[in-house]
Structure 1
Amino acid sequence: MQSLVASILALFFMLGALEARYNPRSYNLQDEVVVSATIVVDKNGHGNFTTVQQAIDSIPSNNSQWTRIHINHAIYVEKVVVPKDKPYIILEGDLDHYPVIEFGDGGNVVTSPTFIAHADNFIAKNIIFKNTYDRIDFMADVNGRPTTWAVAAAIDGDKQSFYQCSFLSVQDTLSDARGRHYFYECTVKGAIDFIFGSGQSLYEKCQIVSVTDVIGFPGYITANGRGGPDDPAGFVFKDCHVSGTGPINLGRAYGNHSRVLFSGTYMENIITPQGWMAAWNTGNEDLISYSEANCSGPGADLSQRVTWEKKLSDEEVEGLTNAAKFIDQDGWLAKQPK
């Protein structure tokens, strides 16, 4: 009898494993253990809520257990805020058809963001965050308005991660303001300072896309504002791909101690020869840490780069590109649901 029961249990678990393997909507055992609830957002009324903000608002303040908000495919025209007192939220789109969260506000980096995440311990997967103010989809026509600040997403919580997400705008697309952040296989598109702030962030296998034909002059991928020589902040791009309409600078310094590293990244022929600008910090170039290591492609030619670009040792590069050393010293990434 015991052997029969054991055989039935073995068959049950085998069938469950097969279902988990072949059903793209199923989640592994770890997720089932650590995610306390799943809320469904469907614009057409086939879920728990019809807007993303309603779903976030339904989660209690000071939440201490991971809660998944699954967003069915649609275009959600709304501003969304994850407040500081609502940690442990997973915002997840359909794997095959990503939902779009978009809004068209501009002119102010604080008030324009389509999406804001203040909370610590936050995850987003398979979502397109978009600011439509500068009409990125209609590059030949920006409604006669000058391009201005129009943030797609602003993040300033600690221990936030983003997987297969897109951030789309023209100017100041992604406000990577502060905190430790991890981006994996994400796309960031813009023309002017389109990744900016003082975050401590690792971008791995991401697509960095220039749309400078919108503005008609060379733009800037990054505007990092690291606060001082002992500040651990900085933007690190590991095994990424830089492409687009160009031309584009890798960055300009938004602070005396600005720090950016491109490592193992393929650069198409859109990078300006000089690569970097001191911008607001001309005269303090020795304090700026802009570096490239083991990059490739026609845009990775270092022969005409600014003379003050830093040459990092292999150990320094490894210390910045290794997540465990740069952003994950306490192992927070492994503690997040996959």
Structure 2
Amino acid sequence: MTNQESCLDGFLRDSDDKKIRETLLVGRELGAGEEGDSDTKGWPEWQSAGDRRLLQGKTVTPDITVVADGSGDYSTVSAAVAAAPEPSKRRFIIRIEAGVYRENVEFPSRKTNLMFVGDSRLTTIITASRNVVDGSTAFDSAIVAVALRINADLCAFYRCSMIAYQDTLYVHSLCQFIVSCYIAGTIDFIFGNAAAVLQACDIHPRRPNPSQRNMITAQGRDDPNQNTVVMQTTINDIVNPAGWYPWDGNFALDTLYYAEYANTGAGADTSNRVNWKGYRVITASEAQQFTFSQFIAGDSWLPSTGFPYTLGL
């Protein structure tokens, strides 16, 4: 549904696109409630036995290697992605050695089962910028400028850094797990419509311009029914005591779901939080439904990655 909403946003809102928009809206209704399947052992059905053995191993052998100085199979990440099979029936591993790769990397939907392995989040760096001078423009466009956009299913990130200013991490749709990562930005820098769990991450607001407010996450805007839960998190005193900020007047304040549970630190006191119908401090039993195992059924697919995680509270 979110993919189709993004498609809707991409059209200019005039009479010429009416039939296209109506068709997409019908598709959204028909698609509601669809879910994926897993086999009796908890693995996604699309994963082969060989793929499972590969991901459960302690080490991985790359299919191709990227080295910035040209001494590997490719010197750019984009070239390595282009060389990957489409689609791949098994996990295709791209090793990216230490270096700075100045490029915008895109993954076409036909590129499946890709795995990136870097040297470290401090030494393997993919960075880029776009502006009007180089032909990029935001005029008449619904596309935001993000550091990382994820709209593939069952994606996992471990020990990565995602650093930008506005709109750093766009968890667009489907299901993602992000663990032990560093995420920094200024305005709305974690947002999207995915079922996403961020666990053991460092989330750092950067200093904004004098006239700007720092918003860590931006939910409850176009969609009045949004779930955002902060739980078992250390919050320092940089967070405003009110905790949450309205999007547009009273819009969605009764229908959104913002919650906190068992947070600690100087900014965790909820006594001065907003007084909205949609905001609440939840109990352990209520928080359980937002854990890794229940919210994204993580125990059915994440063990294959070998990443560390906590299932429950």
Q: Structure 1 length as normaliser, TM-score?
A: 0.67
Match of 2:171 among 165, 176, 197: 176
The alpha-carbon distance between structure 1 residues 96 and 314, as it changes in their structure 2 partners (threshold 3 A), is closer
What does residue range 200-215 of structure 1 map to in structure 2 within 5 Å? 200-215=195-210
Quote the Cα distance in structure 2 between the aligned partners of 1:75 and 1:67: 22
Quote the residue 1:300 is aligned against: 268
Q: Percent identity?
A: 28
Shift of 1:337: 5.5
Following TM superposition, where does structure 1 have runs of at least 4 consecutive aligned residues deviating by more than 6 angstroms?
33-36, 109-113
Quote the residue 2:232 is aligned against: 264
Quote the Cα distance in structure 2 between the aligned partners of 1:189 and 1:83: 26
What does residue range 279-298 of structure 1 map to in structure 2 within 5 Å? 279-280=247-248, 282-298=250-266
Quote the Cα distance in structure 2 between the aligned partners of 1:32 and 1:264: 31
Match of 1:314 among 244, 267, 284: 284
Quote the Cα distance in structure 1 between the aligned partners of 2:165 and 2:217: 13
Contact 1:167 1:187 survives alignment (8 Å): yes
Quote the Cα distance in structure 2 between the aligned partners of 1:320 and 1:168: 26
Shift of 1:55: 0.5
The alpha-carbon distance between structure 1 residues 286 and 208, as it changes in their structure 2 partners (threshold 3 A), is same
Q: Indicate whether 1:198 and 2:223 are aligned.
A: no
In structure 1, stretches of 5+ residues that fail to align are 1-27, 114-148, 226-252
Q: Is the partner of 1:300 in helix, strand or coil? A: coil
Match of 1:165 among 160, 163, 181: 160
Shift of 1:158: 0.6
Quote the Cα distance in structure 1 between the aligned partners of 2:139 and 2:196: 19
Quote the residue 1:276 is aligned against: 244
Give the letter for the 1:212 counterpart. Answer: R
Quote the residue 2:123 is aligned against: 98
Quote the residue 2:90 is aligned against: 65
Contact 2:55 2:304 survives alignment (8 Å): no
Quote the residue 2:28 is aligned against: none
Q: Structure 2 length as normaliser, TM-score?
A: 0.72
In structure 2, stretches of 5+ residues that fail to align are 1-52, 132-136, 308-313
Quote the residue 1:224 is aligned against: 219
Quote the Cα distance in structure 2 between the aligned partners of 1:38 and 1:31: 17
Give the letter for the 2:214 counterpart. Answer: G
Contact 2:184 2:205 survives alignment (8 Å): yes
Q: Is the partner of 1:54 in helix, strand or coil? A: helix
Quote the residue 2:302 is aligned against: 333
Contact 1:212 1:218 survives alignment (8 Å): no
Shift of 1:278: 2.7
Contact 2:55 2:305 survives alignment (8 Å): no
Contact 2:158 2:179 survives alignment (8 Å): yes
Contact 2:121 2:161 survives alignment (8 Å): no
Quote the Cα distance in structure 1 between the aligned partners of 2:67 and 2:268: 44
Quote the residue 2:63 is aligned against: 38
Aligned CA-pair RMSD: 2.7
Quote the Cα distance in structure 2 between the aligned partners of 1:298 and 1:109: 42
Quote the Cα distance in structure 2 between the aligned partners of 1:79 and 1:112: 18
Quote the Cα distance in structure 1 between the aligned partners of 2:113 and 2:147: 22
Paired positions, count: 248
Quote the Cα distance in structure 2 between the aligned partners of 1:224 and 1:155: 16
Contact 1:160 1:182 survives alignment (8 Å): yes
Shift of 1:212: 3.0
What do residues 150-204 of structure 1 show as CA deviations (whole Å, max 9, x unaligned)? 3101110110000011111110111111011000101110110001110100000
Q: Is the partner of 2:240 in helix, strand or coil? A: coil
Shift of 1:38: 2.3
The alpha-carbon distance between structure 1 residues 318 and 268, as it changes in their structure 2 partners (threshold 3 A), is same
Quote the Cα distance in structure 1 between the aligned partners of 2:185 and 2:240: 16
Give the letter for the 2:229 counterpart. Answer: L
- Name whichever structure is richer in strand by fraction: 1
Shift of 1:274: 1.3
What do residues 62-96 of structure 1 show as CA deviations (whole Å, max 9, x unaligned)? 11100111111111000101111111111111048
The alpha-carbon distance between structure 1 residues 104 and 49, as it changes in their structure 2 partners (threshold 3 A), is same
Quote the Cα distance in structure 2 between the aligned partners of 1:269 and 1:67: 44
Give the letter for the 1:208 counterpart. Answer: I
Shift of 1:311: 2.7
Quote the Cα distance in structure 1 between the aligned partners of 2:248 and 2:95: 42
Q: Is the partner of 1:56 in helix, strand or coil? A: helix
Shift of 1:34: 10
